[in-house]
C-alpha cells in the first residue's frame, strides 16, 4: 500500500498525520488517520486498493451483508435496522410522496423492499454478490453491480440514497459526479455518514467503531462534508440525526475495549452522546439531504 501525499478530495498537499487506529473488527492491523488542513477531511492513509481492500470485508460478521440475526450484535443490528427503515421512509416521503429511488450500497435490500411495497420504482446498487443475490431472490428487487452507475441515463431518479456508503468509496469525487448526473434536477440526494466529532467518537477515541478502518476510507465532519458538497455545487438543505447509531456504535466500541457490562455502558454512553448532540448537533451519525444548486 502506497501512502497518499495529497488530500483525496481537494488534492491539497497540506495534510498531517493525526493518529493510528487498529482494525478491531477483523484483522487487528494498524492504520493511520490523516487530516487535510485545507478542507478538514480525515482519511485513512494509505488506502488499500482493489482486491486488497476487498479482503477487509470478507467476514460472516459484516452485518450489512448478513441475512441472519445471531448473537447480541446481530440481533441489535436487525432491531435497529427495522426502526431506521421506517424513519428513512418518513424522511424521504416528506420530500416526495412517490417516485423512483436508487439506493447505492443497498446490502440485502430491506430498505428497497419497504419502498417497493409502497409502490415506489426501485433500483439497488450493491458490490457484494451474495447480498445482491439475496435481495433479488427474496424481494424480487432489481439490484446491479457498481459498474451499472455508468450506464444509467442522466436525470433518472427522484431520490438517490447512500446510507453509510460514501465513506467506503475509493474515489469520492467520481461518485458524487456520477450521482449528480443521474439525479433529476428537482431530485434529492441523501447521504448518511458517521460523525467523527460526535461525543461518542470523542469518548472512545481510537476505539470508536465509527472509524472502522480500513473499510471506512474517509471520515467526514459536518464541515468537511459541506466543503465536499460545495465543491460539487450541491446544497445541503437538511441535516438530520440517526440517533440509534450512537447505541450501536457504542456497543461495538465497548466490545473492542473488552469492557465489562458492554450493553449497559453502550446504553449509557449512547444516551449521553444523543443528549450532548441536542445542543451541538453532532450526533453519532448524520443524514445530509442535498439538492443541486
Mean pLDDT of the 137-144 span: 97
pLDDT reported for residue 65 = 47
Scan for cell 424513519, then name that residue. Answer: 87
Mean pLDDT of the 191-207 span: 98
**Least confident residue range of 71-80, 98-107, 114-123, 165-174:** 71-80
pLDDT band at 200 (very low <50, low <70, confident <90, very high): very high
Summarize pLDDT for 248-270 with one digit per residue, the tens: 999 999 999 999 999 999 999 99
Q: What share of the chain is helix, strand, coil (3-state, %, to 5)?
A: 45, 25, 35
Handedness of CA 60, 65, 67, 68 (dihedral sign): positive
pLDDT reported for residue 63 = 47
* Domains of the chain and any CATH numbers: 65-206+222-292 (3.40.50.150)
pTM score, whole prediction: 0.93
Percent above pLDDT 70 for the chain: 95
Mean of the per-residue pLDDT values of the chain: 93
Cα dihedral 65, 67, 69, 71, rounded to 10, equals -50
Mean pLDDT of the 221-237 span: 97
Mean pLDDT of the 188-203 span: 98
Contact, 250 vs 266, CB < 8 A?
Answer: yes
Mean pLDDT of the 172-185 span: 97
pLDDT reported for residue 70 = 55
Mean pLDDT of the 197-212 span: 98
Summarize pLDDT for 29-72 with one digit per residue, the tens: 999 999 999 999 999 999 888 778 888 888 776 645 455 555 66
pLDDT at 82 over 90: no
Sheet with 143-144, side-by-side order of all strands: 143-144, 121-125, 100-104, 157-163, 183-194, 285-292, 234-241
Amino acid at each position: 500500500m502506497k501512502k497518499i501525499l495529497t488530500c483525496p478530495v481537494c488534492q491539497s498537499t497540506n495534510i498531517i498525520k493525526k493518529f493510528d487506529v487498529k482494525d478491531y473488527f477483523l484483522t487487528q492491523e494498524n492504520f493511520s488517520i490523516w487530516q487535510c488542513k485545507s478542507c478538514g477531511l480525515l482519511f485513512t492513509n494509505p488506502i488499500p486498493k482493489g482486491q486488497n481492500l476487498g479482503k477487509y470485508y470478507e467476514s460472516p460478521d459484516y452485518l450489512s451483508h448478513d441475512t441472519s440475526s445471531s448473537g447480541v450484535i446481530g440481533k441489535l443490528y436487525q432491531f435497529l435496522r427495522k426502526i431506521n427503515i421506517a424513519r428513512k421512509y418518513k424522511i424521504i416521503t416528506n420530500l416526495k410522496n412517490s417516485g423512483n429511488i436508487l439506493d447505492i450500497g443497498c446490502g440485502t435490500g430491506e430498505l428497497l423492499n419497504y419502498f417497493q411495497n409502497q409502490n415506489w420504482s426501485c433500483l439497488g446498487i450493491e458490490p457484494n454478490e451474495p447480498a445482491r443475490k439475496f435481495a433479488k431472490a427474496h424481494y424480487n428487487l432489481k439490484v446491479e453491480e457498481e459498474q451499472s452507475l455508468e450506464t444509467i441515463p442522466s436525470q433518472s431518479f427522484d431520490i438517490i440514497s447512500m446510507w453509510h456508503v460514501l465513506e467506503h468509496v475509493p474515489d469520492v469525487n467520481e461518485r458524487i459526479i456520477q450521482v449528480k448526473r443521474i439525479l433529476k434536477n428537482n431530485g434529492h440526494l441523501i447521504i448518511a455518514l458517521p460523525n467523527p466529532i460526535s461525543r461518542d467518537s470523542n469518548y472512545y477515541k481510537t476505539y470508536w467503531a465509527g472509524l472502522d478502518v480500513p473499510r471506512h476510507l474517509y471520515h467526514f465532519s459536518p464541515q468537511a462534508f459541506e466543503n465536499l458538497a460545495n465543491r460539487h455545487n450541491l446544497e445541503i438543505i437538511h441535516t438530520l440525526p440517526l440517533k440509534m447509531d450512537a447505541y450501536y456504535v457504542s456497543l461495538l466500541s465497548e466490545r473492542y475495549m473488552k469492557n465489562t457490562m458492554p450493553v449497559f455502558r453502550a446504553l449509557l454512553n449512547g444516551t449521553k452522546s444523543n443528549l450532548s448532540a441536542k445542543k451541538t448537533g453532532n450526533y453519532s451519525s448524520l443524514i445530509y439531504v442535498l439538492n443541486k444548486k
